[in-house]
Structure 1
Amino acid sequence: MLTSTLSALLLATTLTAPPATVDADAVDAVVEAYRSQTTLPGVAVAVTRGTAVVRTAGYGRTAGGAPVSEHTAMAVASVSKSFTALAVAQLAQDGRLRLDDPVQAHLPEFAPADPRGAEVTVRQLLDQTSGLSDRTAAPEVGVRTLREAVAAVRGAELAADPGTRWDYHNQNFQVAARLVEVVGGSPFRDHLRRRVFEPLGMGGSETVDTERDLPPSARGHLKVLGAAVALPEPPAFGNGSGGVLSSAHDLAAWLIAQNNGGRGPTGGSVATPETIAATHTPSARSGSYALGWFTGATGSGAPLLDHGGDLFTSTAYQAVLPASGYGIAVMANTGSRHGDAQAIGERLIALVEGRERAPAEDPYLVVDLVLLGAGLGVCAGVVRGVVRARRWAAKRRVGPWTAVRLSVLLLPALLLATLGGVVGLLYRGREVSWLQVAYLYPTFVLVLAVTTPGCLAVAATRVAALVRRQGPAR
């Protein structure tokens, strides 16, 4: 008995007092080293241990030029899923629903075209095993509210029987957020404010519907040729799946609650320890995905709960290390292509575990430079092709092989016209607009946009030269 009591006291001491080697200065050193090696304009970071805050801070500037502080509201993107999962779990804790109830029992408006939709349970929305998929769901065109997001599911087919396959799909959490509204009887944003943000002292946090609701502090950048360019976020709907805005100060309280059985730094509780544990536990079918959290291991083999978040102009990352009591959250104002938030988060995990941290690098800078060089080469080739069109035509006979050679010049135009569909295949069949492709691969799209008219100009001048060489029809 005495041994177990001493062990419990030792564990409590370990979880509430950060070690001397991981303090605010050590956190700052990791973040500033990363920023000095990259072109990350602004980032906010929270590191906690047990019920103690090790560091909350902002670094750099927002897209509008204001300093980033620990209170700057930034987008957490898909990190929002853990908030939505907790909101649903709170209703289960209250006895308002059960996680294994069919969704339609509480939300009749959830009516996919596929009859198997009637079998989808609340838990399957939250652990991404509902059968809904980016490959089969209707696009979220024109969606502006959670009610409309659920209505958009009516045209959806299921990619698998409910509960049989894991498939990451944002609309699962949009449906779940609407479920919170209907069962809880208040707008989703009000539920989060009343049941999550206020009890934890997260006064600077909220959830929004679309990119139009983002405040100036939450707008971000693209990186082009290593330079950060401030741009607005492309149109999208994200409440429930990616709409939460928060700050380093507020996310510290959220992390503490995850490691403290649902109780925040000031004593406010958002759930019982059993409810928090349920959100951290995957089902047999969901693999490593719990309810809004991925489960796994750190580089040292310690248990890890984490989730990333990507917008086109910003990223976020959160991690909870249950064995040591650490929590880490990062929000960066650069887009998903670079993953700066997760890269910093992984370096901070290495810091608290005493592991060596790799230097930061930007592989896309090399890619961008190669693409730029290729674009300049294409421009030179276009000029040469137009100038030498007559000489080219003089060496060719009109026939099938000449037509094939000319048709090759149409390939850039074909790729440009179908680019959204091609990239969509790389993103699990998701609908991807041309504008979104431009945000994901700006240098490639720029080079393609220059190449296309150039190749068409070469094709046109060569055809004209062939026609002139043939002379007037007899």
Structure 2
Amino acid sequence: MLQRLANRYSLSVCLPGLFASVMMTFAAQAKEVDPAYEEVFARIDEVLERELPLKQIPSISVCLVDGDKIVGSKAYGYSDLDGTQPADDKTMYRIGSVSKLFTDLAVMQLVAAGKIDLDAPVQTYLPDFQPENPYDVPITLRQLMSHQSGLVREPPVGNYFDGTEPTLAETVASLNRTKLVYKPGERTKYSNAAISVVGLVVEKVSGQSYNDYMREHILAPMQMNNSSMLHEGKTQEQLAEAMMWTHHAPSFQAPVFELGTAPAGNLYATVDDLGNFLLAIFEGGSYQGQQVLPAETLATMLGGNKAAGEDDPLFGIGFKLGKIDGHPTFGHGGAVYGFSTQFSGLPEDKIGVAVAASRDCSNGFTTRLGDYATRLLLAKHAGEEFPEWEFSEAVEDPKQYVGSYQSGDDKLEIEEFNGRLYVRQGFSRNELRQADDHLVVDNVMSYGTKYEIGPEAGTLNALGKTWKRLSDECPPGAPEKWKGLIGEYGFDHNTMYIYEQDGQLWSQIEWLFLYPLTEVDENTFAFPKKGGMYESEYIVFQRDENGRATEANAANIVLKRRPVGDVGDVFTVEPTRPVDELRQLALAAQPPKETRPTRTANLVPLTKYDDGIKLDIRYATKRNFMLTPFYTSAHAFMQRPAAEAVARVQKKLADQGYGLLIHDGYRPWYVTKMFWDGTPVQYHDFVADPEKGSRHNRGCAVDLTLYDKATGEPIEMVASYDEFSPRSFPLYPGGDSRQRWHRQLLRESMEAEGFTIYEFEWWHFDYKDWQEYPIGNQTFEQLLEKPKAAAVGR
């Protein structure tokens, strides 16, 4: 399982904004569709044929229920990340928090049997359950199942980050180390820990293991034959491969380990099995004549439980309550390591939808698709015209919107990367796309927020506010007291990033969620008091004698500092074989032959064009990743058009007090082969494949950074040059505002002159038309002695 993620980036599938080979073609497999509902599915087909590639979702399955039957189910895309195995009706998904409904159903069976009192203190059933409760109010099962217990979101053991697969008893026991966040019944605070406690109550009261009880009393009676609480047997064979992603790094295959909080999120199921659950709800707790739960007990689950001070209940017993177009709804969403699920029904209309997808945190899209399918069914019931799906398009000239915007005390950031536009506002970062005369948030996480061009230049209207673009000024760096806290914490499969932004410390947690932290003391920082997954909880850092954090206790989850970037100025690797041997083999080899037309090479020294361009050619020294010289002299050559473009960048930056410091330009092919052959395979994203030839070999790539003209010193970036780590990715969120501002300045300056950034390295830029130039293998000395030799094709 987790061993496959020893180097998560070696499992890369695609980068943000790019779609690789996950879905080369559109595939759809229908189990059976009632002829009367073919037009409904035709509309869904149309949506998914266009949206799945855009949303980078490997597979998605949809099941529709109307009245007393499943009227159709269909699987789209591929159940493997290679795109070779079409998903079908047997494709299973991890349904995440939708699992909670089944755990709650188990408790309500025991309530109906007179074995459990919903309003008795939970210690009636679990006397050893003793989290710190400073309030004179005991926790009840009703509060646990409606998320009003005041418990923390995650337990210290068996939490979402924990891949050690502890037992349910160990998970619940660890909650005795925690303190209630709120008074029981005071407010709604979502908690995976709470439903884990509920699951242990099922064990203690029933006398069966949780898994055995669920299989025998919940899944079997509803004939959920393709569902399981465990990753074993047919589950291993039928489970879709799922995709994890983040804002800044390559996607990778999701890990599969059993959660310690299994009752809260560990069920595996097909959407057809979820359809059976919908049928049982619509039939008053009965499935095909077998009463799973008494109708009056089910009605209690679907009724509302308001917390103190709430105008409307957010939850019933387990079920999330709401409305769609005035129709009451029940349901739940689920998100767990690579999977997203939406389960919803309309109790009065008796229509329901189950949607499951194999891309992490794609709940914005699964919810939108589920709502659309619901509206299609409502329109069919009413004999009305079907609603249209609102498609969006890529933004033309996205760079015109880039910048920081402010409205009152609130800020938002609009960023561009590889031609796509993103907005960072609140707790998330989402893609912006064009829809009619406005921009709209439209990606897998969210949809619908509109951004309209304001009446004044540099303004946007969104979220009921007018946002004014701020001047682009270099921000101050992080205060010294926070520098020892900035970094990565956690695991390969789930990493937390701590960084500084706008004078505040921030956390990017569970890959995608961005939270400003409020300083309580030098080592304690509070998550937001309202909203977010870890509402009103804290991060407590432990520091060493040098003031550098060694771990972060984030909402009772201990996350050790990761060693990423802790290598000083020069990152090093242990070569796979001696460098002299690598050199001998590379010099004896020949570059690949190319047949496509190429321009005549004309390599010129970069320093020829502007004396402000300075050199720091690491590969002519021992200050590089293999601690050995690869060049016998320090020079930087590029094709003349590329060199002239670099000179234009230098001239513009000089006006702002900066200069360009060049680390490498043209690189002989044999050196590329040495890099590739000598670099451990887990770092191959950072070196070029000699069989394809490097853009450096063609004289169209440059490695560079900024220096301060006033001092002559290099500008500090988020990561050092040639650091083979995630910190080197152009969108890496770490570091501080000043470092990221300079990284962005360099990228924007280079892109303005026809360069594109390499997806793994903030310092590497490729000049346009690079593919038209030949692979070169001349040494620097050969170029200097015989300038015309540069024109030789190889």
Fold conserved between structures, TM > 0.5 = yes
In proportion to residue count, which structure has more helix?
1
- Per the alignment, residue 356 of structure 1 pairs with 387
Deviates more, 1:277-286 or 1:137-146: 137-146
* Cα pair 1:315 1:334 within 8 Å, conserved: yes
Which residue is 2:445 aligned to?
none
Give the letter for the 1:133 counterpart. V
Aligned mates of 1:232, 1:148 — CA distance in 2: 25
Task: State the partner residue of 2:218.
Answer: 196
Structure 2: which amino acid aligns with 1:246?
A: A
Aligned to 2:272: 249
Q: CA deviation at 1:415?
A: 4.0
Contact 2:129 2:172 in 1 (8 A): yes
Shift in alpha-carbon separation, 1:79–1:145, aligned structure 2, 3 A: same
| Cα distance in 2 for residues equivalent to 1:77 and 1:22 | 30
Aligned to 2:186: 164
User: In the TM superposition, what whole-angstrom CA distance separates every residue of 1:91-118 from its partner, at most 9, and x where no partner exists?
Assistant: 0011111111211101112211325597
Does the CA contact (< 8 Å) of 1:114 and 1:156 recur in 2? no
How high is the TM-score relative to the length of structure 1? 0.73
Residue 361 of structure 1: how far off its partner (Å): 5.3
Equivalent residues in 2 for 1:77-116, closer than 5 Å: 77-114=96-133, 116=135
What residue in structure 2 maps to residue 58 of structure 1? 75
For residue 169 of structure 1, report the CA deviation from its aligned partner. 0.7
Which residue, out of 305, 310, 323, partners 1:297?
Answer: 323
Q: CA deviation at 1:215?
A: 6.3
Q: 1:447 aligns with which of 730, 746, 749?
A: 730
Deviations 1:336-387 (A, max 9, x none): 15633222212212222336343355999x899725689xxxxxxxxxxxxx
Task: Look up the match of 2:94.
Answer: 75
> Tell me, what secondary structure is at the counterpart of 1:284?
coil
Asked whether the equivalents of residues 116 and 161 of structure 1 are also in contact (C-alpha less than 8 Å), the reply is yes
- After superposition, residues 24-39 of structure 1 pair within 5 angstroms as 24-35=41-52, 37-39=54-56
Matching of residues 86-235 of structure 1 within 5 Å: 86-114=105-133, 116=135, 119-134=138-153, 138=156, 140=159, 141=162, 142=164, 144-208=166-230, 217-223=239-245, 229-233=251-255
Which residue is 1:322 aligned to? 347
Contact residue 248 and residue 733 of structure 2 kept, 8 A: no
Residues 199-255 of structure 1 deviation map (CA, whole Å, 9 limit, x = unaligned): 111111111389xx9767243113579999441238753301101110022111111
Q: Does 1:370 align with 2:416?
A: yes
Q: Is 1:416 matched up with 2:487?
A: yes
CA distance in structure 2 between the aligned counterparts of 1:302 and 1:445, rounded to whole angstroms: 50
Match of 1:237 in 2: 260
Residue 15 of structure 2 aligns with which residue?
none
Rounded to whole Å, the distance in 1 between the matches of 2:37 and 2:732 is: 54
Structure 1 residues 170 and 48: CA distance shift in structure 2, 3 A? same
Q: Whole-Å Cα distance in 2 between the matches of residues 46 and 90 of structure 1?
A: 26
- For the residues of structure 2 that align with 1:109 and 1:362, how far apart are their CA atoms? 56
Q: Is the CA contact (8 Å cut-off) linking 2:249 and 2:732 kept in structure 1? A: no
The Cα shift of 1:323 comes to: 1.8
Structure 1 letter corresponding to 2:262? N
Which residue of the partner structure matches residue 300 of structure 2?
A: 278
> Residues 131 and 451 (structure 1 numbering): CA distance in 2 closer, same or farther, change over 3 Å?
closer
Q: Equivalent residue of 1:204, what SS?
A: coil
Question: Contact 2:91–2:238 (CA<8 Å) still a contact in 1?
Answer: no
Query: Which secondary structure does the structure 2 equivalent of 1:317 belong to?
Result: strand
Distance in 2 between residues matched to 1:19 and 1:444, nearest whole Å: 54
Is contact 1:111–1:118 with CA below 8 Å preserved after alignment?
no
Matches within 5 A, 1:391-470: 415-417=486-488, 419=497, 422-423=507-508, 425=527, 426-428=532-534, 429=537, 431=555, 446-447=729-730, 449=732
State whether residues 60 and 67 of structure 1, in contact with CA within 8 Å, keep that contact through their aligned partners in structure 2.
yes
CA distance in 1, matches of 2:139, 2:231: 24
Do structure 1's residue 267 and structure 2's residue 289 form an aligned pair? yes
Structure 1 406/31 Cα, relative in aligned 2: closer, same or farther at 3 Å? closer
SS of residue in 1 equivalent to 2:76: strand
Q: SS of the counterpart of 1:241?
A: helix
The residue type paired with residue 175 of structure 2 is V
1:336 aligns with: 361
**Preserved CA contact (<8 Å) 1:305 1:321:** yes
Instruction: State the one-letter code of the partner of 2:360.
Output: G
> Any idea what the Cα deviations from partners look like across 1:282-335, whole Å, max 9, x if unmatched?
21327221122111100x211111211112411001001112110100110011
| Identity within the alignment, % | 24
Determine if contact 1:261/1:276 at 8 Å carries over to the other structure: yes
SS of the equivalent of 2:291 reads coil
Mapped partners of 1:154, 1:321: distance in 2: 39
Cα distance in structure 2, aligned partners of 1:303 and 1:435: 46
Q: Which amino acid aligns with 1:359?
A: E
Distance in 2, matches of 1:409 and 1:448, equals 24
Native 8 Å contact 1:200 1:269 kept in 2:
no
Q: Deviations over 1:23-81 (max 9, x none)?
A: 54454444445325532210111110111111122111123543211121111001111
Deviations 1:113-158 (A, max 9, x none): 32559711111110111111339x6463556221011111101111
Equivalent residue, structure 1, for 2:457: none
Q: Distance in 1 between matches of 2:731 and 2:105?
A: 44
Contact (CA 8 Å) 1:46, 1:57: kept in 2 or not? yes
Is this contact kept in 2: 1:251–1:329, CA < 8 A?
Answer: yes
The 1-side partners of 2:477 and 2:43 are apart by 60
Change (3 A) 1:226 1:278: same
> Is 1:41 paired with 2:26?
no
2:583 alignment partner in structure 1 = none
Mapped partners of 1:368, 1:327: distance in 2: 37
Q: Secondary structure at the match of 2:303?
A: coil
* Counterparts of 1:410 and 1:26, CA distance in 2: 56
Could you say what secondary structure the match of 1:199 adopts? coil
* CA RMSD, Structure 1 to Structure 2 (Å): 4.1
Change in CA separation of 1:230 and 1:113 when aligned onto 2, cut-off 3 Å: same
Whole-angstrom CA distance in 2 between matches of 1:215 and 1:239:
20
Q: Work out the number of aligned pairs and report it.
A: 403
- Structure 1 stretch 351-360 or stretch 313-322: which is displaced more? 351-360
Tell me which of the two structures has the higher relative contact order, counting C-alpha pairs closer than 8 angstroms and 6 or more residues apart: 1
- The structure whose residues are more often strand, as a share, is 2
What letter matches 1:252 in structure 2? Answer: G
8 A Cα contact 1:201 1:253, kept in partner = yes
Structure 2 counterpart of 1:347: 372
Q: Secondary structure at the match of 1:34?
A: helix
Which amino acid counterpart does residue 43 of structure 1 have in structure 2?
I
Unmatched segments (≥5 aa) in structure 2: 1-33, 380-385, 399-412, 421-474, 490-496, 499-505, 510-526, 538-553, 565-724, 744-794
Contact 2:244 2:254 (8 Å CA) reproduced: no
